[in-house]
Structure 1
Amino acid sequence: MNTTTIHHGRNARPEAVERAEAGAKAWRAAGHAQRLASADHRDFYALAGDLTDTLAAVAGLAEVLAWQVAHYADGRPVCDDSQVVDPRERLDAAALDLHELAARARHAARSAHTFWSRISHIGLDDQPAAIAPGRAGVPR
């Protein structure tokens, strides 16, 4: 990737890039923490809500990027480091990739929301009935 023409000041990075990096790091840490945690329906519910919100945010960011990428060559000279592919064609293909990412993230957000809705009905019974063998949570 040719980054010789990108300038963000001394060691400064754009806010969006820093926030995306922090978000990815936070989700990796959440996954690690959940692997170490005991299963708890309240955690399932809370994490499902955050997953739903995050996936919707990813879809929104992908759409913003798709528009920006599609118009990146408007009024500015662009090049492709391969010197084989027309940079405008590569930008168009990349914008389509981002539209697909947005659509898939929206679909994933709907799945997360469905899980969130379903898990919201789960709790622990204070006086559990006898449970049939092999049928976790289903009274005899």
Structure 2
Amino acid sequence: MTTLDDGGEYWPTATSYASEGANAWRKAVHAQLSAPAAHSDFYALAAELVDTLRSLDGLLGVLARQVAGYGEGRELYDDADVNPVERLRDGERHLTVARQRLAEAERAANGFWSAIGHIGERS
């Protein structure tokens, strides 16, 4: 499925959403740079970070399944004359590593979220 972006170009819907998400996270970084340290920000941003990492894990899983079956019924080529099947397998391996490392990052972010949840500021 594709969608028309603001510039009149067609993008796959998933790509459009991913672009919006990346832009939103960049804006969050810039906003937090000038924000004073606040527990409420730490806690809320940690929650959003955990949710985002879990969503990215889901996307990597979908991509891995799609890449695994991509060569079926298609005549593929590789621009460097590498066997396309081997290139797809290499891509799958990279997705597997990315998912493993993302799972580690999600656990760490969730740990931060849990730890920061115990902190409060006395009035």
Q: Same fold, TM exceeding 0.5?
A: yes
Q: Which residue in the other structure is 2:10 paired with?
A: 12
Name segments (4+ residues, structure 1) moved above 4 Å: none
- Alignment match, 2:83: 86
| Alignment gaps of 5+ in structure 1 | 1-7, 127-140
Normalised to the residue count of structure 2, the TM-score between the two structures is 0.91
CA distance, structure 1, for counterparts of residue 45 and residue 73 of structure 2 = 44
Percentage identity across paired residues of the two chains: 47
Please tell me whether the aligned partners of residues 59 and 103 of structure 1 are also in contact (alpha carbons under 8 angstroms).
Answer: no
Deviations along 1:38-66, whole A, 9 cap, x unmatched?
A: 00011000000000000111111011101
For the residue of structure 1 that corresponds to 2:50, the secondary structure is helix
Structure 2: gaps spanning 5 or more residues: none
Q: Which residue number corresponds to residue 38 of structure 2? A: 40
Q: 1:106 aligns with which of 103, 106, 110?
A: 103
Query: Larger % of helix: which?
Result: 2
Aligned pairs, how many? Answer: 118
Deviation at 1:103, TM superposition (A): 1.5
Contact kept in structure 1, 2:46 and 2:112, CA below 8 Å: yes
Q: For residue 76 of structure 2, give the secondary structure of its aligned residue in structure 1.
A: coil
SS of the equivalent of 2:114 reads helix
**Is 1:54 equivalent to 2:48 in the alignment?**
no
Residue 64 (structure 2) aligns with = 66
**Larger proportion of strand:** 2
Could you say what secondary structure the match of 2:10 adopts? coil
8 Å CA contact 2:57, 2:102 repeated in 1: yes
User: Which of 24, 31, 40 is the matching residue for 2:22?
Assistant: 24
- Which secondary structure state, in structure 2, belongs to the residue aligned with residue 66 of structure 1? helix
Larger Rg computed on CA atoms: 1
- The Cα RMSD (Å) is 1.4
Taking structure 1 as the reference length, the TM-score comes to: 0.80
